[in-house]
Structure 1
Amino acid sequence: MLDQHGRHVFAELIDSLNNQQLKLITYEITKDLSNFITLIFDIHGSNSIKKVIRALRRSHLISFVTNNLCAAFYLIMTNRTGSYVVSECLNHLRAEDNNLLYEAAIACCLDLAMDHEGSIALIRVINTIQGLQRYRLLDILSRNAVFLSQDPEGNYVIQKVISLNNPLFTQKVCQLLIGHYVTISLQKGGSHIVEKCLDTEWKSWIIESFLSSTNTLLHVAKDEFGNYVIQKALKVTRQSGSPLYHKLLSRLKPHLRILQSGYGRNVFNLITGGQPVKKV
């Protein structure tokens, strides 16, 4: 299973086994958790395990594999090669066979969200989880939107939650971030979240946060990441014909000279079409 050439022999073997032989093979590769983990962390071994999963997808024997995956779930999900073995189960097994895997994902979703490989694997879980388990997972993630939005990896998970366009969880995220929009607009990942929130029906909450202080608005507009947020705010309010567009303009126009240099120039160009401010 671990050998570059031997894994092809193993695949042929799996295709030729009867149920009793398949049971013996399954027991052999799952009886020791540490050996099992060694297999799924190896590129050839993981392909061999995926072959076994496909062979067992309608057999009760699959529980030997899924139980092992649950026993070391966080460790496996934070390993790129290992996480794809879990994805093989989520994509090809019956819902009842994946139940424990989803429960494991829900239990450690916040830890996964803050790990690079774990966050990528968690987004794949979000793509497949359904029903009450989906609700529970998204509820936990959205309730923790404030700190996840400011995490280098967690922000991608919150972006995913918003992109699902589920009004219940999108509203929860947008509401919890009130009071934090300015802070996260100045962060690389957080600014993408704010831009996504500006595409929702709760965009006014974000814009009102910026309008609370002219100095705050200018600070965000001149920031490396924040300037994209202000551009987005101007675009969405103009397209929707919102009176907030004119409020934003009235706050920004008296300070166009300040915006002419640095990152603020992007906002300046959007407002003026790139034309320099005339001296009074």
Structure 2
Amino acid sequence: MSIADNTFSMSNMYDALPHIRFSRGISGSSIPPPGFIPRASDTRLNPLFNLMTSGEGVALFKDMISKLDRRQLHTMASLLTSDSDYFTEVVRNKHGSRRVQKLLGISDDVDALFHAAILRRFLHVMTDKYASYVARRAMAVFDQTKKYAMYEHILHHALDIARDQHGCIALNEIITDADDPFYRNQMLDVVAINALCLSNDASGNFVVQHVLKLYDLRCTHNIAANLRGHCFELSFKKYGSYIVEKLLEAEGSMAVVVEELLECEGERLMRLARNEFGSFVVVKALRVTQTNRIDLFWDLVQKLMPFLHLLRRSHGSSIANILEACSIATR
């Protein structure tokens, strides 16, 4: 059966399920081996696989499954989840992911099957571009017991998820939408405790940035504490500088960053001020202290003023403008 033959219709839906149920079964020798990807020539699995992953009839799928009875829905979910490799291939497909999401939250017994399938391949699901949407949808519709099990898996795999290009996005969404205070705080604590390694990671830094944007005072304080002594070096990096700027915006962590900058020798601070990314950190430090901590502001000005002539001809030109304004004001 080709994909073209597997058009979306109610008759195809009803015809496909018993055909697959008869020829493949849910266990035994007919289950495909690990790494198996259904092919057009494999008539045992193609009807359901094509039904889930074909680009045709996307708008009709939700209406179609609404007309299936409980037994048919359970059969469909059983076939989709009875083999982990098969399930993973479906949810990694753009259309397969969307259709599995439509099947979530319909009934407890169907959710139980998908819940078990997701947990079996949790890290693979959470770090895939399309499969991760299935996990995020599951967190929204599963009952409390199933959610708690997923939270536990998130905490266990948090670092691996955060350091993946797709996983970091999924983790950010789950943290934002977390409706359980205990697990939300647990996830924030994992990010805070591992703030240094995440801040230096190409994907993990986005999780730290995201968490800081939630303006959770306790978490921001803990991140600042764990980055104390590392803000200077982070400021030389594109994404690291974003994190340091976020810390400067928070009243509770602003002093931590500024005091670290003031501890630097004048030439080291000048080198940061002339850096492509570090210059933004120094400008932010000057602006927030001028508003909130005038004593720290003048300490920074005094330390930077000897290098005014060097700052004019570099990325530090904005800093030079602030220093020149201070010179005029004190004359």
- Structure 2 length normalisation: TM-score? 0.78
The answer to whether the 8 Å contact 2:236/2:277 transfers is yes
Q: Which residue of 2 aligns with 1:17?
A: 68
CA offsets per residue over residues 15-66 of structure 1, 9 Å max, x none?
112222222222121111111111111112112111111423xx23301101
Corresponding position: 1:63 with 2:112: yes
Amino acid in structure 1 at the alignment position of 2:96:
G
Query: Which of the residues 55, 63, 66 maps onto 1:4?
Result: 55
Q: Corresponding residue for 1:139? A: 189
In 2: Cα distance, 1:157 partner to 1:13 partner = 38
Structure 1 or 2: more helix by fraction: 1
Deviations 1:175-230 (CA, angstroms, capped at 9, x unpaired) = 11111111000011110110011112221111111111212211110111000000
1:157-196 aligned within 5 A = 157-196=207-246
Partner of residue 223, structure 1: 275
Structure 1 segments, 4+ long, off by >6 Å, are: none
**Structure 1 CA distance for aligned equivalents of residues 100 and 262 of structure 2:** 56
Q: Percent identity?
A: 29
Structure 1 residues 74-113: Cα deviation after superposition (integer angstroms, max 9, x where no partner): 1111111111111111233333332222221111110111
Counterpart for residue 122 of structure 2: 73
Distance 1:196 1:187 in 2: 14
Offset at residue 6 of structure 1 (A):
5.3
- Pairwise CA distance, 1:241: 4.3
Q: Is the 8 A contact 2:248 2:288 kept in 1?
A: yes
Question: Following the alignment from structure 1 to structure 2, what is the Cα–Cα distance between the partners of residues 196 and 92?
Answer: 33
Q: Which residue of the partner structure matches residue 4 of structure 2?
A: none
CA distance in 2, matches of 1:171, 1:30: 43
Alignment of 1:248 with 2:297, yes or no, is: no
Q: Determine if contact 1:7/1:45 at 8 Å carries over to the other structure.
A: no
Q: Which amino acid aligns with 1:106?
A: L
Report the more deviating stretch, 182-191 or 8-17.
Answer: 8-17
**Comparing 187-196 with 246-255, which one deviates more in the overlay?**
246-255
| Structure 1 segment 32-181 matched on structure 2, within 5 A | 32-56=83-107, 59-129=108-178, 130-181=180-231
**What is the alpha-carbon root mean square deviation over aligned residues?**
2.0
Q: Which runs of 5+ in 1 are unaligned?
A: none
Q: Which of 310, 314, 317 is matched with 1:258 structurally? A: 310
1:95-139 per-residue CA deviation (whole Å, 9 max, x = no partner) reads 333222222111111011111111111111111222222122111
Q: Which residue of 2 aligns with 1:214?
A: 266
Contact 2:192 / 2:223 at 8 angstroms: preserved in 1? yes
Report the residue type matching 1:148 in the other structure.
L
SS, match of residue 249 in structure 2: coil
Query: For residues 260 and 13 of structure 1, what CA distance do their matches in structure 2 show?
Result: 67
Question: Which residue in the other structure is 2:324 paired with?
Answer: 272
**What's 1:204 paired with?**
255
Q: Distance in 2 between matches of 1:88 and 1:185?
A: 36
Partners of 1:270 and 1:73 in 2: CA distance: 51
Find the aligned partners of 2:228 and 2:286 in 1 and give their Cα distance. Answer: 19
Structure of higher CA gyration radius: 2
Name the CA distance, whole Å, in 2 between partners of 1:230 and 1:9: 55
DSSP 3-state at the match of 1:186: coil
TM-score, normalising length: structure 1: 0.92
Q: Answer with 42-51 or 180-189: which moved more.
A: 42-51
